[in-house]
C-alpha cells in the first residue's frame, strides 16, 4: 500500500475481512506504526464506517457501504486498479461529507430516548434539596414551567427556585445544558462552584469538574461572575463559541472552543482529542453499569483521538483496539479490562 496516500490506504485496510489473522494482522500493525498520518487516517476512516454500521434506515448510506465493500482490497501481488481505488475513495469521500455535514442531526435522530428523572414532586419555589437528579448512565430532559429546557448529563443534580421576579438554579453536581426561555422581566441565573452565570434567553453548558468549573456559550450571551458575598474579579461576558474555565480557588480565563465537541454529550457521543486513555475511560464509565478498568499505567497513559458513542463500552473496546496496542478482556459480567498487547 506504499503507493497510496494514508487516507486511501486506510480505506482499503477497512475493507479487509481478516485483519485479525496472519499475515494481514502483522502487515496492518506495521502500516499503523509507519507514521502518525496513517494512525489518524485509520481513525477517520473507522469513524465513517461506524456511520455505515448504524445506517440501516438510510438507503443511500447502505448503498455506499455495499459499494465500498465490493471495492475491497485486491491481493497484494496484483496491481492496483484505478477504478478500485476510485470506488473506495468515492465511498469514503461521500460518506465523510455526510458525517461531517449532518452527523449531529443524524445522531440526534438515532439517539436512544432519555429518561426523565423521577421522584417526589419537586418544590420549585425555594432552594432546598435537589429537585431533579440523574444517576449513572442516565440522561434527563426537563421542561420547566417558564419554558426553559434543561438537559442533565449522568450523575447530575439541580435545585430550582423560581420567585416572583427571578429564576434561579443551583447546579449541585454534574453537567447540564440550559436552553433558557427569554423573559427580560425575570433574569435567569445558574449558581455553580461559587460563581453565577446570568442570562436572559440563551443556550449554555455548565460543567462541574474535579478541577473546577467550565461554562460554554452556544447561543446568545451570558455573564459569569462571583456569587454574592464572594470577592473576586468583575463579571466576564461570553460570546457564542467561547468557554470560561476556572479552578476551584482561582481566577478564570476565556478561550474559544469547538461547540460540536463541547456539546457532543447531548447527542449520546463523546469526542477525545489526544487525551489519555484513562480520562476517556473515566468519562465513558459514567454512562454504563458495566465498567472498564485499566490497571497497567502504560496503558492508562496511551493517547486516544476519536468520536465514540456513550453507553456501548464493547464497541469502544473494539474501536480502541484497532488504533492502540490494547485489547479488552471481560473479567466478569460487569467489568472489562483494557490490557496491553505488547510483550
**pTM beyond 0.75, yes or no:** no
How far does Cα 177 stand from its chain's mean position? 14
Helix axes 59-70, 36-53, angle to 10 degrees: 130
Each residue's pLDDT tens digit, 163-202: 888 899 999 999 999 999 888 888 999 999 989 999 977 8
The pLDDT assigned to 91 comes to: 41
| Residue 297 phi, psi (nearest 5) | -60, -35
How far does Cα 148 stand from its chain's mean position? 24
Q: What is the average per-residue pLDDT within 7-14?
A: 75
Each residue's pLDDT tens digit, 234-246: 889 999 999 999 9
Same-domain pairing of 56 and 160: no
Output the nine-digit C-alpha cell for 221.
450571551
58 has a pLDDT exceeding 70 = no
Same-domain pairing of 137 and 252: yes
CATH classification of the domain holding 252: 2.60.120.1440
Same-domain pairing of 106 and 155: no
Same-domain pairing of 148 and 233: yes
Residue 74: which domain range? 6-110
The pLDDT assigned to 56 comes to: 45
Q: What is the average per-residue pLDDT within 314-332?
A: 90
Same-domain pairing of 75 and 23: yes
The pLDDT assigned to 241 comes to: 94
The pLDDT assigned to 80 comes to: 41
Distance in angstroms (rounded) separating the CA atoms of residues 245 and 263: 15
| Cβ-defined contacts of 327-335 (< 8 Å, 24+) | 328/292, 331/293, 333/290, 334/289, 334/290, 334/291, 335/290, 335/291, 335/293
Each residue's pLDDT tens digit, 257-298: 999 888 888 878 888 889 999 999 998 888 877 889 999 999
Residue 115 maps to a domain: no
The pLDDT assigned to 342 comes to: 85
Per-residue burial over 122-137, b if 16 or more Cβ lie within 10 Å, else e, is: bebeeeeebbbbbeeb
Average pLDDT, the chain: 76
Q: Cell match 435537589: residue?
A: 130
Residue 120 maps to a domain: no
Same-domain pairing of 101 and 207: no
* CA atoms within a 13 Å half-sphere pointing along the CA-CB vector of 22: 0
Distance in angstroms (rounded) separating the CA atoms of residues 160 and 172: 11
Residue that finishes a domain, picked among 237, 261, 285 = 261
Q: What is the average per-residue pLDDT within 33-44?
A: 77
Amino acid at each position: 500500500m506504499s503507493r497510496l496516500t494514508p487516507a486511501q490506504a486506510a480505506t482499503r485496510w477497512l475493507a479487509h475481512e481478516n485483519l485479525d489473522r496472519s499475515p494481514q494482522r502483522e502487515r496492518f500493525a506495521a502500516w499503523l506504526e509507519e507514521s502518525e498520518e496513517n494512525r489518524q487516517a485509520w481513525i477517520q476512516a473507522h469513524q465513517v464506517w461506524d456511520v455505515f454500521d448504524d445506517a440501516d434506515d438510510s438507503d443511500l448510506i447502505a448503498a455506499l457501504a455495499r459499494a465500498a465493500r465490493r471495492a475491497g482490497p485486491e491481493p497484494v501481488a496484483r496491481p492496483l486498479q484505478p477504478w478500485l481505488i476510485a470506488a473506495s475513495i468515492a465511498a469514503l469521500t461521500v460518506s465523510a461529507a455526510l458525517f461531517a455535514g449532518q452527523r449531529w442531526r443524524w445522531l440526534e435522530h438515532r439517539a436512544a430516548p432519555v429518561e426523565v428523572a423521577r421522584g417526589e414532586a419537586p418544590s420549585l419555589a425555594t432552594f432546598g434539596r435537589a429537585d431533579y437528579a440523574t444517576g449513572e448512565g442516565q440522561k434527563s430532559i426537563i421542561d420547566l414551567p417558564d419554558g426553559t429546557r434543561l438537559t442533565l448529563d449522568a450523575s447530575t443534580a439541580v435545585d430550582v427556585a423560581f420567585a416572583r421576579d427571578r429564576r434561579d438554579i443551583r447546579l449541585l453536581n454534574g453537567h447540564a445544558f440550559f436552553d433558557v426561555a427569554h423573559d427580560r422581566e425575570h433574569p435567569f441565573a445558574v449558581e455553580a462552584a461559587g460563581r453565577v452565570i446570568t442570562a436572559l434567553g440563551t443556550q449554555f453548558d455548565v460543567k462541574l469538574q474535579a478541577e473546577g468549573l467550565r461554562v460554554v456559550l452556544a447561543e446568545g450571551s451570558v455573564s459569569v461572575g462571583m456569587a454574592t458575598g464572594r470577592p473576586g474579579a468583575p463579571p466576564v461576558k461570553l460570546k457564542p463559541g467561547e468557554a470560561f474555565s476556572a479552578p476551584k480557588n482561582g481566577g478564570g480565563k476565556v478561550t474559544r472552543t469547538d461547540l460540536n465537541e463541547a456539546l457532543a454529550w447531548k447527542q449520546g457521543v463523546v469526542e477525545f482529542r489526544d487525551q489519555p486513555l484513562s480520562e476517556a475511560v473515566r468519562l465513558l464509565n459514567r454512562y454504563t453499569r458495566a465498567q472498564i478498568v485499566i490497571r497497567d499505567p502504560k496503558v492508562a497513559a496511551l493517547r486516544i483521538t476519536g468520536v465514540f458513542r456513550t453507553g456501548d463500552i464493547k464497541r469502544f473496546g473494539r474501536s480502541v483496539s484497532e488504533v492502540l496496542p490494547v485489547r479488552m478482556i471481560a473479567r466478569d459480567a460487569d467489568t472489562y479490562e483494557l490490557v496491553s498487547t505488547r510483550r
